[in-house]
Amino acid sequence: MKKYDVAAYVWPSYTGREKRAYQFWEQGIGEWQTVLSAESRVEGQILPRKPLWGTVDEADPKVMEMQIREAVRHGVNVFIYDWYWYDRRPFLEQCLDEGFLGAANNTDMQFYLMWANHDAGYTWDKRQTQLDEIIWLGTQPREEFDRICRRVIDLYFKRPNYYKINGCPVFMIYEMSNLVRGLGGIDKTREALDAFRTLTKEAGFPDLHLQLTIYSEHAVNVSGVDSGRTGSTKDLVRMLGADSVTHYQFCHFVNCDNGYLHALDELEKEWARIRSEYSVPYYPHVSIGWDNNPRHRFLTLPILTNNTPENFRKGLQMAKEYADRYNDVPLVTINSWNEWTEMSYLEPDDVYGYGYLEAVRDVFLSSK
């Protein structure tokens, strides 16, 4: 049976161990506070969703040992950690450093980083989501960027279970517009990324595998955290020497107003466009859903409906067939392991139970 690299994004907010997060979630349980306060606002919406595993601390190694077992048992064998750097230091790193890497069975899975380098505002604070103000900038100057590169090489790339493609550690960057803005333009950004590659080689690796998050070419901000962006991702791939692309969320490139099956139709068309326009491999992405209402005290749209485990399974089958047909590396990305406040998670809940995880198992671990 062919083995696939099924990679789920991890949003590392479900812990009270990050003291700087108390300004958003003052109860000390991370964004579980927001999950529990969610309310249904339209017909058919079921909020709050309750986690079958409870509001656990995902920076607890024992908790992560259980989650790793369940992930692997259902075919998820890679975690992509959302990784943050604000105000000259990391943010929300405990889930990775203390939880995942502290788990006795962490080498049963692989992991890699997606640098979520968007600005941070009040989106995570349900009391003040209407405020259009920036708390921390996601942009970084060259000196700080170099510090980041050295840190991720030393702390993460050198781990035996850090995910690599052809021996090259994969590092994903979420917002290229913010990266370019902070480093001072395209040419200087290319110089900084080339220096990152040199440092990676000096650490003993063949090269860096730079992966970019691709949006539709004229993306809008629907999540409340994405910064403004201009230009075309496909142009940045060429100018900055990226090695591959994938997506982070359906809401970045499909219409979420018309239900999950219509989203899958658009998904197929977008994949075809990417194949024709991009010069690097695209690793197919499937999201579970989109509903950002848990983070708001008022109705916010769009809401992706009809995202049942059965329909999610159809998206996974599409991704599997794409990987089989077009890619040498069988990597598929999923949003997400635990984006409860965006209603896109694999972790079991009180509505579908283990349904989403079972869909992954049926597609990627079935011998059929």
Residue 46 C-alpha from the chain's centroid: 24
The pair phi, psi for residue 122, each rounded to 5°, is -100, 10
Residue 243's identity, in one-letter code, is D
Instruction: Using alpha carbons, list the distances in angstroms from residue 364 to 326, 333, 357.
Output: 17, 13, 11
The single-letter DSSP state of residue 327 is: -
* Integer angstrom CA distances of residue 165 from 76, 225, 244: 17, 29, 10
Taking a C-beta distance cutoff of 8 angstroms, is the pair 332, 340 a contact?
no
Residue 223, number of CB atoms within 10 A of its CB? 16
Residue 55 CA from chain centroid, whole number: 20
pLDDT band at residue 225, thresholds of 50, 70 and 90?
Answer: low
Percent of the chain exceeding pLDDT 90 equals 89
State the burial class of residue 43 (Cβ atoms within 10 Å of its Cβ: 0-12, 13-18, 19+): exposed
Name residue 282's amino acid: Y
User: Under CATH, which architecture does the 5-364 domain have?
Assistant: Alpha-Beta Barrel (3.20)
DSSP symbol at 51: B
Is pLDDT of 229 > 90?
Answer: no
First to last CA, the chain: 9
Residue 167 CB-half CA count within 13 A: 7
**Ramachandran bin of 171, using left for φ above 0, alpha for ψ from -120 to 50, beta for the remaining angles:** beta
Q: Are 351 and 45 in contact (CB under 8 A)?
A: no
Measured CA to CA, the distance from residue 307 to residue 311 in angstroms comes to: 6
Cα 117 vs. chain centroid, distance in angstroms?
12
% pLDDT > 70, the chain: 95
- Write the pLDDT tens digit of every residue in 3-61: 999 999 999 999 999 999 999 999 999 999 999 999 999 988 999 999 999 999 999 99
Cβ(270)–Cβ(254) under 8 Å? yes
Q: What is the pLDDT of residue 220?
A: 47
State whether residue 213 is helix, strand or coil: strand
Q: What is the mean pLDDT of residues 164-178?
A: 96
Average pLDDT, whole number, for the chain?
94
Residue 18, pLDDT score = 96
Q: What is the tens place of the pLDDT at every residue in 45-70?
A: 999 999 999 999 999 999 999 999 99
Give residue 23's pLDDT.
96
**Cα–Cα distance measured from residue 45 to residue 37, given in angstroms and rounded to the nearest whole number:** 14
Cα separation, 254 vs 267, whole angstroms: 7
pLDDT(228) > 60: no
- Average pLDDT over every residue of 315-337: 98
Q: What residues have CB less than 8 Å from 119, skipping those under 6 apart?
A: 134, 136, 137, 138, 139, 178, 225, 227
Two structure tokens written together for 44: 């058919």
Pick from 332, 262, 357: nearest CA to 302: 262
Torsion of CA 336, 338, 344, 346, to 10 degrees: 70
pLDDT band at 130 (very low <50, low <70, confident <90, very high): confident
What amino acid occupies position 333? T
Confidence of residue 222 (pLDDT cuts 50, 70, 90): very low
- For 173-208, write each residue's pLDDT tens digit: 999 989 999 999 999 999 999 999 999 999 999 999
Element (H, E) at 286: strand 285-287
Record the pTM. Answer: 0.96
- Residue 233's pLDDT band, with cuts at 50, 70 and 90, is confident
* Alpha helices, H only, the chain: 32-36, 61-73, 94, 142-152, 176-183, 186-202, 233-240, 260-277, 309-326, 355-364
